[in-house]
Amino acid sequence: MSEGTAKKEEKPRKFQAIRGTRDLLPPETALWNRVEQTAHEVFATFGFGEIRLPLFEETELFARGVGGDTDIVSKEMYSFVDGPSNLPDPTDQFTIGAFVETIVQAYRKGEIPKTDANSTAIEMLKKAFADFAEETQRQPRGFVQGVPDLQKYFSTFYSAVYFASVVSRGEAVSLRPEATASVCRAYIENNMQQLPQPVKLYCIGPMFRRERPQKGRYRQFYQIDAEVLEAVRKEVASGEWRVASKELAKDAAVDAEVIEMVMTLFDKLELQGVQLAINSIGDRNCRPMYVELLRAALLKVKDKLGPDSQRRIETNPLRVLDSKLESEQGIIAKLPRIADHLCEECAAHYAAVKHQLEMRGVIYRENWRLVRGLDYYMRTTFEITAKGLGSQNAVCGGGRYDGLVELLGGPPTKGIGFAIGEDRLILSLQESGKTKAEQGRDIYIAWMGEKAYTTAIRAAKNLRNAGFTVELPPVEQKFGKALGQADKLGARFALILGDNEVTSGEWTLKTLADGKQEKLRESDLVEHLKKQL
């Protein structure tokens, strides 16, 4: 092998971001920050407080909250066992002994779940391993195929391997695919039902879903999520109609205000082509009947549907309405519509939501097919689309989810919220040029000579303190090169500091756009720039 090839092979491999994840880089991150800052400001004006949640939770929380049959939970979660790593391999005859020993120690120290089931599993493992160890002892040294007792040797081994797989090595956890279930968990865990109700929270951060990546769809994506939670008062829970009808009106106002809030944010950001679609999907009184009606109607046209929809007739007929398959559109248009089958309460609530939106000047479109892919919704569902996003054009989705907190072990509680897909929001703003001119540096300091460097450092400090963006090159550059660099960075001004300037105390400020030069004293510089920038 030549020296050249050897060198080539030694070159460390380059790493790439995992499929579906990406780096967000400047200057784009400036836009992300502007969007988030605007969200902080707008949400604060509606009385929302920020909550920061863990990035991973018990898998069971999402399974129960979002729904075990949803795509998100059944196919897309990043799940792992949160237990000791580097355990010896229990499927290897030579390391299974070390595995058993490590597990027994870990159980004793509380490093793996201390449950009755796990205690039993470990006892079974110990017993199975003892049988295997005994068999190993009975084998002649260096045994080979064909030794009569080999069968017993392997059967005891596989039995021990089996019991090793039964032992729980830790909690099943998942990276959060969404935030609503976590917000409900936090509401319960932190006793937020004791706070003045409703509790209004928002959170901004990454979510994780193992979807097929494409434009606007990532495996790590970002949401701006907002939720309103309200403990159900005792008199409401009693179900008296007069109280209930007041509650319906109040819920409708909350729904409309939440929608108004996200529309206000989009407005502030000048998001283009914003369209709000709303629907009511009923509640547990009326929806089951509608679902059965839908199922019966779908069964009649089953042969004309694609395989996904055929499967959904059994698992979740509502999701058939979500279908984008061209060939199914005509059939879906003729299916029964939920608006015609809402119970009295749901119909009153839906009418009130629409009225409330109108009072707030929020323009909406009704879409009876808007059912959304998460199990927790009831009554209001909504989705917002924006310009320039192609097939993944939903920039926000949300809805009401009364009962979810209860499902997660908390007190009876109402809920409504939404999540904005921040990646898509940014994409849409970029596509329509609403990104605001990216700022370069305000001032580039071109300095030459040791004395000038000390002055340049002082000037940079003072200018930054005054709020200007300053680039101070760390090494001396010829003025020509420095000015070229200033140009590339998009600087507005170059402050030229050489021996002459330092000695005379008259600094040179060059406007890069037109090449104009002015002489200024140090004490006048900040004021002068403030007038210009």
Report the nearest approach of ligand HAM to the CB of residue 181 (Å).
8
| For ligand HAM, the closer CB: 67 or 397 | 397
Helices assigned H by DSSP within 281-384: 287-300, 307-315, 329-333, 344-359
- Nearest residue to the partner ligand HAM, using Cβ: 421
Q: Is 216 left (phi over 0), alpha (psi -120 to 50) or beta?
A: left
Alpha helices in 46-95 (DSSP H): 59-62, 71-75
- Please, which residue, 22 or 464, has the CB nearer to ligand HAM? 22
> What's 10's DSSP letter?
H
CB of 487 to ligand HAM, least distance (A): 37
DSSP code per residue over 461-509: HHHHHTT--EE--SS---HHHHHHHHHHTT-SEEEEE-HHHHHHSEEEE
Q: DSSP class of residue 29?
A: H
Calculate the CA 436 to chain-centre distance: 25
Retrieve residue 55's tokens.
């990035």
State how far the Cα of 168 lies from the Cα of 72, in Å rounded to an integer: 24
Contacts with ligand HAM, residue ranges (CB under 6 A): 178-180, 209, 211, 216-218, 221, 223, 225, 227, 374, 394-399, 401, 417-419, 421, 423-424
d(CA 34, CA 340): 43
Q: Indicate the residue among 423 and 501 with the shorter CB distance to ligand HAM.
A: 423
Angle at 48 (CA atoms; ends 276, 57), nearest 5 degrees: 90
For residue 158, report the phi and psi dihedrals to the nearest 5 degrees. Answer: -65, -30
Residues in the chain: 533
* ∠ Cα 133 134 140 (to 5°): 95
Give the full edge-to-edge strand order of the sheet including 171-175: 56-58, 171-175, 79-82
Please report how close the Cβ of residue 84 comes to ligand HAM at its closest, in angstroms: 32
Dist. CA 479–CA 497, nearest whole Å: 9
Pairwise CA distance, residues 522 & 215, whole Å: 51
- 99: amino acid identity, one letter: F
User: Residue 369 is encoded by which pair of tokens?
Assistant: 């097919």
Which lies closer to ligand HAM via its Cβ, residue 83 or residue 415? 415
DSSP secondary-structure letter at 321?
G
Q: Please, how many CA atoms are within 13 Å of residue 423, restricted to the half-sphere of its CB?
A: 22
